[in-house]
Structure formats: C-alpha cells, structure tokens
Amino acid sequence: GQQLNQSPQSMFIQEGEDVSMNCTSSSIFNTWLWYKQEPGEGPVLLIALYKAGELTSNGRLTAQFGITRKDSFLNISASIPSDVGIYFCAGQLTTGNQFYFGTGTSLTVIP
Amino acid sequence: GAVVSQHPSRVICKSGTSVKIECRSLDFQATTMFWYRQFPKKSLMLMATSNEGSKATYEQGVEKDKFLINHASLTLSTLTVTSAHPEDSSFYICSARTPGLGPEKLFFGSGTQLSVL
C-alpha cells in the first residue's frame, strides 16, 4: 500500500501558538483530506482538498494541497486546549479508489 | 457533513463468541464502506472494503472467515468478528464514502471498542 509520512509525530505547544504539520507521499494524489480524532472517537473530517495549490480554511484551520500533488499541509492558528487530539491526513490516488492514511500527528496544547 | 452511525460503541465479550458491529449512513446512500482496525496511538489500518450487493474485498493478512462483512443495503454494512479471541481486542471503525462521480469525502463512524476476555 501507499505510505503517507506525516510529521511531526507529536507536538506540545502553548495555548495561543500556531501549529503546522504536513503529509508527504512518493505518489501523486488527486484528493487530500484532513481529520481530527479524539480518544475513543472516530476521525472527524476537517478539510477536503481536490486541486493542486488549493488553499482551504475552516475557522482557525487552513490546509493546502501541495503543488507537486505529493504533499499537503495543515495549519492551526491561535491554538486552544480543545484542539488537542490526533490529526490524520488521508490521500486518494484517483476517484473511486481507497484512501490511504498518514501516521498521525498528536497535538497537546498546554493552557 | 454526512452522518455515519456505528453501534455498539463498546462491547465486552467472552472468548469464542461472535460480535456484530453495525455501520449506517444516516443521510446518504453509500455503495462503498470501509472497515478499519486501530491500535492505541496508531493510524487506521484498513481491513476491508465493503461493497453493496457484492462480496467485500479484504486487505492482505485479514482473515475473511473471521471478519465477516455484509453490505446488504445502501445504508448498512456489518462486521462480524467470529469466534473472538483476546488478540481481536481493538478499536474498530467504519467509514462511508459519499456517492457520485464528483469529489469524494470519507465520513467515519464513532468506533467500537471491542474487549475479548
């Protein structure tokens, strides 16, 4: 299967700081999705990206579809304690195929 | 976003028994659903792709006779863990893909924590 490398693996930040994480692949994807998962829950879709270079925001979250189509980025501005969780990227090679998941970034926000 | 309901959220069973987990798409029809297994602090591991009206497609290393999948309608897929053993204890999650030929999204159920004693 496809390998999606997500970094950093974990982050410990102060409340109010901005957060950046990324997801990279050796293959070209046509769809990138970003999710947040809290303990004991299923992942919740945050942002969906479908075009190279696309920049999409959802509140304090902004994600970008990399120009090379092999990577994607997620930024969280002015972090708050409820941002705590594991963030996953997911990529799809072509429409109709399965989604591959990144290894996850665990975010801890210190009040 | 679309809603995917998964039940039960938690189940404890004795070794040797079978457990059924349901995954429903509440406000859209899903011809394809996916079943995952997740270990603590790890990523999602795809087990199988559930296709409405046809046999599920299992990933390499997943025993199809142990993890029975049925996708009898456009809104319901079930995963049955047969003759469960302690090593089957895990967090199981389903997802459903939004239909159509356009951009796709994947929505997840809330997961089922299975504990086999």
Q: Is A82 helix (H, G, I), strand (E, B) or coil?
A: helix
Please answer yes or no on whether B41 and A92 come within 8 Å at the CB atom.
Answer: no
What does the block give as tokens for A105? 């970034």
Q: Using one digit for the tens of pLDDT, what is the confidence trace for A95-105?
A: 777 899 999 99
Q: Is the pLDDT of residue A2 over 80?
A: no
The pLDDT, as a whole number, for residue B27 is 87
Q: Is the pLDDT of residue B1 over 70?
A: no
Q: Using one digit for the tens of pLDDT, what is the confidence trace for B48-93?
A: 999 888 889 999 999 999 999 999 888 999 999 999 999 999 999 9
CA of B35 vs chain A CAs: smallest distance (Å): 11
Residues of chain A with C-beta less than 8 angstroms from the C-beta of B93 = 42-43
When mean pLDDT is compared over A63-72, B36-45, B49-58, the highest value belongs to A63-72
Q: Which amino acid is at A58?
A: N
What chain A residue is nearest to B60 in terms of C-alpha separation?
Answer: A1
pLDDT band at residue B31 using 50, 70 and 90 as cut-offs: confident
Residue of B42, B49, B111 lying closest to A41 (CB–CB): B111
Q: Is the pLDDT of residue A41 over 70?
A: yes
The pLDDT, as a whole number, for residue B72 is 83
B37 - beta bridge partners? B45, B92
* Cα Rg, chain A, nearest whole Å: 13
* A61, A46 Cβ separation under 8 angstroms: yes
CA distance B52 to B89: 27
Q: Is the pLDDT of residue A34 over 70?
A: yes
Q: Using one digit for the tens of pLDDT, what is the confidence trace for B76-88?
A: 999 999 999 999 9
Cβ count near B71 (within 10 Å): 22
Residue of A42, A86, A104 lying closest to B108 (CB–CB): A42
CA distance A12 to A110: 7
The pLDDT, as a whole number, for residue A94 is 79
pLDDT band at residue B2 using 50, 70 and 90 as cut-offs: confident
B112 - beta bridge partners? B92
* B98, B32 Cβ separation under 8 angstroms: no
A contact set with B (CB within 8 A): 1, 31, 33, 35, 40-45, 48, 50, 86, 88, 90, 92, 95-96, 98-99, 101-104, 106
Please answer yes or no on whether B46 and A88 come within 8 Å at the CB atom.
Answer: no
Residues of chain A with C-beta less than 8 angstroms from the C-beta of B49 = 98
User: What is the total residue count of chain B?
Assistant: 117
Residues 6 or more apart whose Cβ sits within 8 Å of residue B51: B31, B32, B57, B71
Q: Is the pLDDT of residue A106 over 70?
A: yes
What does the block give as tokens for B91? 């967090």
Residues of chain B with C-beta less than 8 angstroms from the C-beta of A48 = 103, 105
pLDDT band at residue B103 using 50, 70 and 90 as cut-offs: confident
* Cα Rg, chain B, nearest whole Å: 14
Among A85, A97, A93, which Cα is nearest to A30's? Answer: A93
Q: What is the mean pLDDT of residues B4-27?
A: 96
The pLDDT, as a whole number, for residue B100 is 67
What chain B residue is nearest to A87 in terms of C-alpha separation?
Answer: B43
CB of B93 within 8 Å of a chain A CB? The answer is yes
Ramachandran region, residue B65 (left: φ > 0; alpha: ψ -120 to 50; beta: rest): alpha
